[in-house]
Amino acid sequence: MLHSRRPPLPRPVVSSLAEARAVAGWSPEYSPYGDPVGWTPVGEGAHRAVILNPARTIVYKVENEAGRNRREHRTLGGLRDQGHVHAPPTTLWAVPNPAHGTGGAIEVLAMPYLPNDGTAPHTPYPRPA
């Protein structure tokens, strides 16, 4: 007996394009002077920076190296498709980058903000990840 595959469920949209545009040009190396008003920088790595929206409900990961956000979005989507409830919903926004003319875009990954409620294990030293 052949089983037909169900079409995938629609993916929820996290945040809005307007908020993604608000942070797309954010350059954390200029912090705290270049932070968008009302937004809170959460973290910064070698390839991305994370900023929390004024409502404190959504975090945005702003790339400085192309492809990182796309890979995370695809990985989390795959985990959700497999039924993993720990994988948060994400939306990948492509925001036109005026610095690159007509062809470039900045990819901004949005996901719900999950504050540390004290249940996450505390590691006394930095771990490579």
The range of the structural domain enclosing residue 93 comes to 17-112
pTM: predicted TM-score of the whole model, two decimal places: 0.76
Listed range (3-7, 17-21, 113-117) with the worst mean pLDDT: 3-7
User: How many whole angstroms separate alpha carbon 19 and alpha carbon 24?
Assistant: 9
Answer whether residue 7 is part of any domain: no
Confirm whether 9 is domain-assigned: no
> Number of folded domains in the chain?
1
Q: Is residue 11 part of a domain?
A: no
Assigned domain for 64 exists: yes
- Residue 38's Cβ-count burial label (10 Å; 0-12, 13-18, 19+) is exposed
Return the CATH number at 92: 3.30.200.20
More confident residue, 127 or 87: 87
pLDDT band at 96 (very low <50, low <70, confident <90, very high): confident
On whether residue 3 sits in a domain, the answer given is: no
127 in a structural domain: no
Domain assignment present for residue 124? The answer is no
